[in-house]
Structure formats: C-alpha cells, structure tokens
Structure 1
Amino acid sequence: MTTPATRPEKVDAVIIGAGASGAAAAKVLTEGGMRVVALEKGPWRTKESFGGDELANVNRYNLWPDPLLNPRTSRRDTDSDAEVDLFCPVPQMVGGGTVHWQGWLPRFTENDFRLRSIAGELAGTTLADWPITYAELEPYYDKVEWAFGVSGQAGANSFESFRSRGYPCPPMPQSRYAEKFHFGCEELGWNSFPTPQAALSQPFNGRPATVISAFAQQHGDPSGTRSSALNVFIPDAVATGRYDLRADCYVRELTVDSQGRIKSAVYEDSEGRLVEQEADVFVLACGAVETARLMLLSSSARFPNGLANGSDLVGRNVTFHEYSASVGTFEDPINAWAGGGYVSASSFQFYEHDESRGFVSGGHIAAAGVGIPLPINWGLPGRPTWGAEAKQNDRDHFSHSMAVAMVLHDMPQHDNRVDLDPEVKDAWGLPVARITLQTHQNDIDQGRFLVDRCGEILDAAGAKQVDRVYAEQVTGNCSHQHGTARMGDDPALSVLDRNCRAHEIDNLFVVDGSPFPTATGANPTLTIMANAWRVSDHILSKRAS
C-alpha cells in the first residue's frame, strides 16, 4: 500500500456508500450520537443539477456510471469469456439508486423469510431461509415508510403480511394505465392494489406533495419533491452535525490491524490524494456487486482471499431479479407516459410459492408506463426503430400502449458470483467486478408463467393486441443486486451473522442487498433500508452496553 498523504482524526464509524442503505445507516447512527464519516465514490448533486439538459436526459441516462471509467465484465459460466459491459448498473452518487427510481416500495411477506422451509430443496440452487423473520423487520419497515412519507393503502393487498399501522399518505392519484390494470385484474377475479410509492400524495412532514413528471425513472428530480435517500435521510444525518459526507472519494481497500479487525479505509479524494481514515466500526453500503469487489480487493496476510472470506462465499450466490413484461395496445389513448411510473398498480396474486405450478416462488406484477425516453413498444419484435416507419409507429402506439411487468425471483446458485476480473481494470488501475451468471431453469419457468399472467391482465382489460416478451436469461436489467455476502447462523454457509456483522471480523457490517439469502419476488430497496436501520440500531445498542 502506498503511504497515504493524510490521516484525519479517527471517528466512531465509517460508512462506505451514501445510497439507500448507507444514508439510512448514517441517519440512525448520527441521531444515536455517533460521529460518522461517509465515503461516496460519486458526486453530491443538488436538485438544480437534474433539470434543463435535454440532450443528457434523452440520449443518455446521465446518472449511470461511465462505462469507460467504471466498467464491469460478465459471462454466462466459468467456461465462457467475459465481456466488458455495465451489468446491472446503479448510479454512483449521493442517494444512489433512489435518485433515479420510480420508488416502488412493497414489503416482503412473512413467507419470503422462510422459502427454503416452504418449498424444500431445489436442485442446483443454494436456497436458504433467512436468519431473521418478518416480525423482526416489521417495525423497521414502518420506520422507513413514515420517514419517507410513503403513499399507499394498507389492507388493499390481500396477500400482505401484518402491519403495525397504515401508510402515512393515501395512494397517489390513479393514472389511465393503473385504471386499465385494476379493471383487468377485477375481470379475472384477481386482487390488485395501488403500488406503495416513495412519493407524497399530499404534503407531509414539511414537504410538499410530489410533482408528478413523465421523467421519473432513470432521471433525477429537479423539483426535489420525490422521496429519496438524497432528499430525506441525507438531510436528516447532516442536521445532527455529526455527519461528514465526503463525495468523489474512491475507497481502494480496507486495512486490518494485528487483531484482524478493520483499522482503516484507504481512499483517493477528489484531488487524487491518498487518505487513510480510521474508525471503530466500518459499514459497507456499496451495493452487492461493489461491496463484494471491495472485500475481495482488501486482501492481506490475515485474509489472503479477501475480507471475511475464509468460507470462500464472498461474491457467491448473487441474484439480480429481471423485469420482463407483456405490452398491450388499446384503441383508446392511455397516455402511459404521464406520471412516469409514479402512479402504478400492483398484484401479489402470483407472488407466493404454489407447488402445483411446477416451479419455486413467484413475483410482483405491476402496471408500467411506456419507457422514457424511448417508447416501450420500440423494443417489441418487428417494430421499426428508425425513420418514417418508426414515426408512424409512435403515432399509432405511443399513447395507446402500456406494459404489465413482473419481478422475477431468480434463484441463488453457488457458482453465480462476483469476483475480480484478472485482466480488465478501471480508470484507477484496480480490477473490475466480473459477474458469472447462469440462469436456472426455475427462473425461466417462473418468468414465462408470470409474463403470461401479465398478458392475461391486458387481454381482460380490453387490449386489441398483446405482445408477450419472455426473458430467457437474467440480464441485470433492473438494478437490483443481492446475496454476495449472505447472512446466516452458520459461518460455514454464510459471510455475515443475523445482525449483518462479518463472522470473521467483529467491527465490519454490511447493510446493502449483499446480506439477502434470497432475492424474493419484490423490489428490494424498502427491505434494504429497513434492514440497514435494524443493523444500525444493533450497532448503537452494542456501543451503549
């Protein structure tokens, strides 16, 4: 290691990452009295920086990592060559993925935490129960929902698990495409409900109602009214006076002391200077891919295979979800571009495991708008993408099309993993993350089943044409990452304990999606933030004892 230029004063905790999980941990730890330094690789942008640049918004999703500076590689299996790409990218900036999200925040169900017990063994997978229960996490679901002012309707989802109280805000106003979704489900006799959203349907906690914009997903919020880690948790932490958030800082490694505990984070600041920051506790919140990468990069004589990796499980069992959909075209205009996904509708009708279907588990189904900036019907087979024919296609379909999409619950597998690419390096000269991912037959079967149900909703809603788009492999298209440092009670089968502390390092915690033993079939960010809050409460309780 090159000798650092500076060594700032030691603090109580260092959090690496200032996205959903890192910001949640920062809020809880600083409000609990701890002095926290947060190291975020990306910039700290304000709402004013998100508007006005049409070229960046329309021609390039300008929140994504730069593929020249921050590439990844991926391959189908260990016998395939890895290709350079941006597999499952997440914005690297203060606020992380919550800066670009639609903000769908469904809770997991009680059975999500015990799927192995319910479904049994599935050959070729490492399906496992969680070491915690829904009941343990429920108070933290409630805390996050009320901090964010989530808009939803308690009890509308007939498959939801128990709640300690309702949502702080009523559902967002209903869109034309949500109306079609509800009608289709009603015709089929299936339950549907307003999607819980990280958006304010009315003023809440001193913030105005959310401005509903077509440019929601993939884009920052120039109004500052969307609920996100950037707009809620970061200001809460800053207000304590105990939060030192350092943006544009690239952590190269974590060092260990003679006792095998984490001693410091070594990083390059925005000026390219090498800095070593010491702390009592270290919290990783980089996202499941980059957390595994940092642990593997931080090898030493004590941990030759990477931090806390004596079990060779760091990076393994990675899961990514997959969005796939059926697209319907209607005679009447739906204007599915309006609202940008803020005003959605959902169903858990096929969420729980049902052995009679012939596969394990199920997934969340929801109404989705047409994609912004590109119309969703452009991606359908046989549809023109350029020239006069593409323009006519827009006239015929753009305001008349909508999607019903599903969240695939892909199965964890031992050989699906994140490791260090032996050849490709990033702009800082460090090995990039290499993803090895082979799709299990259960994923394909489950995906086809759910896409067919999506199509049935559109048929029942009166669509004149329905195109079913099946996923034949997991591509990482929805920015959901889990499982690379799974939690469990047995150190031989897990990296972290039930409180997300590394089995082998007593001052190292992980609070992003890495601890998840399974991906479940729902958007994970609410659970990630709730778990980060739970883990942070545990850190505070141990500090006080």
Structure 2
Amino acid sequence: MSITRKPEPVDAIVVGLGANGGTAAKVLSEAGLKTVGFDRGPWLRAHEHYSGDELKFVNRDYMWPDPKMFPRTIRYDENAEAERFPFSPTPQMVGGGTNHWAGWVPRPRESDFMMRSLHGDVDGASLADWPFRYEHLEPYLTKVEWAFGISGIAGADKYEPYRSKGYPSPPLRPTRYGKRFYDACNKMGINAFPIPHAMVTNNHNGREPFNQTSFWNQYGDPSGARSNILTTFIPDALATGNFEVRAESFVREVKLGKDGKATGVIYIDAEGNEVEQDAKVVVLALGAIESSRLMMLSKSSQFPDGLANGSGLLGKNATFHEYLFAVGLFDKDIDEPLNGWTGNYISGGSLEFYETDENRGHIGGCIISASQTCHPVNWVFPGRPSWGDALKDADRNYFNYAMKIGLILHDLPVESNRVDLDPTVKDAFGLPVARITHRPHSNDVAMGKWQVDKNMEILEAAGARKTVPVYLDKMTGNTCHQHGTARMGTDPAKSVLNEWGQAHEVENLFVVDGSGFPTATGVNPTLTMMANAWRCSDYIADVYSKGRKERLVIAN
C-alpha cells in the first residue's frame, strides 16, 4: 500500500478519542492549536444509536472491538503459547470507554503517588514513585469534575485528601441494594458514601438529569445525562473551529524524522486509503495496550525495538485492575426485593480498607462498591444453573434478591507483566496484534482474598442468606483499566516518559493515557487519567509549543 494523499500539516495530532484523547483535544484546541483527532472506530450519535437494548449491547457486541478484525492474545506463562482472547476490550470509537462505562470516578489518594517511598523494594514487584504528587494533580481533578459533570458529596469520604472545590452535582439517590450496603457498613463502623459518579443530577452546563434504567454499564446512554466524551469534550473541541475528527481512521505508524522528532502519522482511512498527516506534536491516547502497540509498530533504525524505547521498558510493568467481587443472595420469601434494575448500576462504596495495614498480609488496598448483579438476560452468579427448570428456579428465586460488593484490585507492577507484539497473530490490516503476558503478584492474590472475604462479611451484615466469593486466579482483563506500559519518571534509563507524558527520546511525542502510570492505584483510573491528560496538554499548549521547557521539582 502506498500513500494516496497528504493533507496540510497541523499543530497537533491526537490518536484515540476516548476519555484521555478527548480531554487533550479539548485543551489543545481551546488553546488555539489546530488539532486533528483520529479514532479507529465510528463516530456515533448518542440519541440515534444508543438505547437500553440488552441484546444489542451485551449479546451482539455493538460497542466492542470485532475479535476477528482486531484480536488480542494472552498467555499466563513466559514460555506458553498465547491464545486469542478479548482481554480488556475497550470500545474503539469516538468517546471510547466513556460510551459504555458505569462511570465510577473517585479521586486517587496521596499514597498512590509514592508507593515505593512508602514500601521500598517489594520482592517480585517493580514499584516506582510517580514524578509528581497528588497536590500537582488536584487542580486538574477539579477541572475535570466541573467541566465533565460529576456528582458526589465532598467530605462524605472521610479519608478523601484535600480538594479545592466540591462537586457540581449532588449524588444519585441510594438504591435498595445501596441502602442494604449503607446499613451494614453503619453496623460495622465502616465509612460508606455515594461513589462520585459521571452523571449530572441537576441542570449542569445545560445537561438535564435523566435515568431510565440501572443497566447503562455496557450500554450506550441516549440521554446525555451520563457524562461521555462523545457528548461533552468532543463538542467543546469542535466548537473552537480548531479541531477535526477523523473517525474510522486506523493509525498504523508514528513517523520519525531525521532530527529524531515525530513528523506525524500514517493512517488508513474509511475507504482503505493510506494517508500521511504531518504535525508539530503527536499525542497518543489509545489506552496502555494500544498506545504501546503503536509505538512498537513504529520501529526505525534509531529505535529498532519500538519508538522511544531506548530504555527497553516499553510495554513492561503492565497493570489491569482485575474486578473481583462477592455475591449476596437473599430469601424471596422473607426479604424485600432489591429491584436491581432501578436507580443505577453502582450505589454506595467505601475506601475504609485502602491504605496499607500489614496485619492483613498485603500492602495497599482498594475501593469497594455495592451494585446489582447486572442484566436480566445475562445476569449471572457463581454456581447459577445454565439450563432447564433449575435455571428458571434460580432466576425466580434470586434475580430480584441478589447484589454484589465488588472491588478494583490494586495490582502491583511487575516488569515481566507486559504487552508486546504477537509473533504470529495479525489484525485485519496484517499487523501484529497486542500480546499480553501476565502472572499475578502474590500481593495481588492476598489483597483480593482479604477484600473479597471482607465483602462477604458486609453482605452477611446486610442480611444475605448466602454469600459466594470470586477470588483472583489469573488476570482475565474483565475491566477496561490499563496502565503502566510506558511509565513516567525522571530517569530515562528507568522510564519511557517524563513528568509531562513526554517521551524522553522523542521530544514532540506525548502519551496521555494510563500508559504512563508507574503504579495502578486502587481506584477506577479514568478521573486520574483525564486530569493528567489535561495537565500534560496544558504543558504542550503553554510551554512546549512556545519553545520552552520546564521541569517539575518535588520537595522532599
């Protein structure tokens, strides 16, 4: 295939228009930079394409990558042959994962930014401090909460670090299962609160509150009440006149010039043409799996092992936040129904067990949250029969009388847990797909076991007649949370990016998704990612594009 056209150069290219790329597009275009945004998938319209159709969204994979066109592979042992598996399948379309997400957006903790300082060298792990601290990110957390539309109660989480401003919207009302969770936590002396949620509950920035069903997790919300890059930051960027969306455009290579700078990208457009787009700055925001894959595909004589990979760390230290949970089953003849289809997917949560208590047998901790057990056609609990009268009886007895308490596992970085290019499996364009190699650290297993057991205790206090645990066995990629494959740091020998998400070895290449996270954190990462993308984009617009440099100094 040869280049068929070459549009006029622009100031900035953003590859991937999900939570982080959409944030970068908004900030860069509002700063006056002519910006082009690429996304591999379509540019849908929420009111036309989204609904509460369970078969469409859950069974027919309407929003998910086609596993035949864009597969991934996974192996759990360095010497094993990888198998095709839809590992962490983030929707590939304008708006990315914010099209389908449940929308938990809690803030990180101060401890998240200095795990190595707090815990030193942990055997088998590759802990590293972040090259900035919570106080450097806090102003941007606030910017995102207010510009994007987040509901919550400031101070309800008694462990929350400093915040400069409250939330723009009050929280959603508690569901019946949320009330069960709150009552149980009150009995046990656990601080529980409404998890900050990406949904407006008042008239915020012209968006009206609306909630038709609790099943928006995995669905596209047609109302606009649930905050979504597709319906917020993309329109903000377009309104500047400085931004252009090129959907259904697959970027296959970042080009490198003789001076060692990125010159732009080569992409395949919706008609199958190969196009070359030049720019002064290239910003990657495809997620930690696909951003590292694109950098590996962008080989050159200067970087034979992948773009900006002189350290050899590109793709390594990958973390994925496995979602674990405990299910509570109630008695339909005694207990009130929980009505899981009303309210919202998540309700109450807690960070009571977030900070390290070595009496638990592990370091770190994570957020927990109460939720329903999902969709009427596809709902599942461990041990649920799969056929016949037993299945019907289980549905009658438990669908309306079940809840779960889940957790976002704070998995430790391990250098050998990584993303690389599969040597045999190719995508629809004939390019090597991402291969994930992952074995959980012993701390991950211990944390998952301890927290799932604690969640069962809470369910029992909530009145569950039976509890069923789901522990960590291996990483299945059942979240869209991806981090660490191009970690940030101040030492180019030990990191790929600096504190601004800027590649140490390619000065006009920036990566603003979770790739840069040195550690995973124990909360849903999207708010942290978006805040960091805003911070890095401010640096591009206010410092780098004006020919200056700055370094961030952390006080001891």
- Structure 2 residue 17 is matched with structure 1 residue 46: no
The alpha-carbon distance between structure 1 residues 522 and 212, as it changes in their structure 2 partners (threshold 3 A), is farther
Paired position in structure 2 for 1:413:
414
Higher alpha-carbon deviation: 190-199 or 202-211: 202-211
Aligned position for 2:389? 388
Distance across 1 between alignment mates of 2:485 and 2:298? 15
Output the amino acid matched with 1:384: P
Superposition TM-score, scaled by structure 1 size: 0.97
Q: After alignment, is 212-221 or 157-166 more displaced?
A: 212-221
1:363-404 deviation per Cα after TM superposition (whole angstroms, max 9, x unaligned): 10100111125554x3312x2022222111111000110000
Number of the residue aligned with 1:30: 29
Cα deviation for residue 60 of structure 1 reads 2.7
Aligned to 2:554: none
**In structure 1, what is the Cα distance between the partners aligned to 2:114 and 2:479?**
24
Match of 1:15 in 2: 14
Question: In the alignment, what sits opposite 1:332?
Answer: 336
Q: Note the C-alpha offset of 1:355.
A: 2.1
Q: The residue matched to 1:409 in structure 2 has which SS?
A: coil
Of the candidates 337, 347, 350, which is equivalent to residue 350 of structure 2? 347
| Greater Cα shift, 162-171 or 208-217 | 208-217
Structure 1 residues 12-68: Cα deviation after superposition (integer angstroms, max 9, x where no partner): 000000000000000000000000001100000001111375532352332110101
SS in 1 for 2:179: helix
Match of 1:97 in 2: 97
Q: Deviations over 1:49-88 (max 9, x none)?
A: 1137553235233211010101000100211110011111
Q: Aligned residue for 1:167? A: 167
Structure 1 residue 121: deviation in Å? Answer: 1.5
Distance 2:214 2:183 in 1: 23
Alpha-carbon shift at residue 411 of structure 1 (Å) = 0.8
Does residue 502 in structure 1 map to residue 512 in structure 2?
no
Structure 1 residue 203 displacement after superposition: 1.4
For residue 283 of structure 1, give the secondary structure of its aligned residue in structure 2.
strand
Map of 1:457-476 to 2, 5 A cutoff?
457-476=458-477
**Mapping 1:354-503, distance limit 5 Å:** 354-374=357-377, 376=379, 378-381=380-383, 383-503=384-504
Cα pair 1:119 1:353 within 8 Å, conserved: no
Distance 2:424 2:153 in 1: 50
Q: Structure 2 vs 1, CA of residues 49 and 443 (structure 1 numbering), >3 Å: closer, same or farther?
A: same
Q: Unaligned regions of 5+ residues in structure 2, if any?
A: 549-556
- 1:328 maps to a residue whose letter is G
- Contact 1:375–1:398 under 8 Å retained in 2: no
1:541 aligns with 2:542: yes
**Percent identity at matched positions?**
52
Stretch moving more, 204-213 or 75-84: 204-213
Change (3 A) 1:512 1:373: farther
Does the CA contact (< 8 Å) of 1:58 and 1:373 recur in 2?
A: no
Q: Is the 1:217–1:372 Cα contact (8 Å) retained in structure 2?
A: no
Q: What corresponds to 2:552 in structure 1?
A: none
Report the Cα distance in structure 2 between the residues aligned to 1:56 and 1:375, rounded to whole angstroms: 12
Distance in 2 (CA, whole Å) between partners of 1:57 and 1:14 is 31
CA RMSD of aligned residues (A): 1.2
The whole-number CA distance in structure 2 between the counterparts of 1:145 and 1:292 is: 28
The residue type equivalent to 1:65 in the other structure is: P
1:510 & 1:266 partners in 2: Cα distance? 17
Distance 2:374 2:55 in 1: 17
Give the superposition deviation at 1:463. Answer: 1.1
SS at match of 2:449: helix
SS of 1:321's equivalent?
Answer: coil
**Could you tell me which amino acid in structure 2 is paired with residue 235 of structure 1?**
P
Equivalent residues of 2:207, 2:224 under 8 A apart: no
- SS of the counterpart of 2:514? coil
Equivalents in 2 of 1:78, 1:373: separation in Å? Answer: 39
Report SS of the residue matched to 1:344: strand
Q: Which residue of 2 aligns with 1:77?
A: 77
TM-score by length of structure 2 reads 0.96
Number of matched pairs: 541
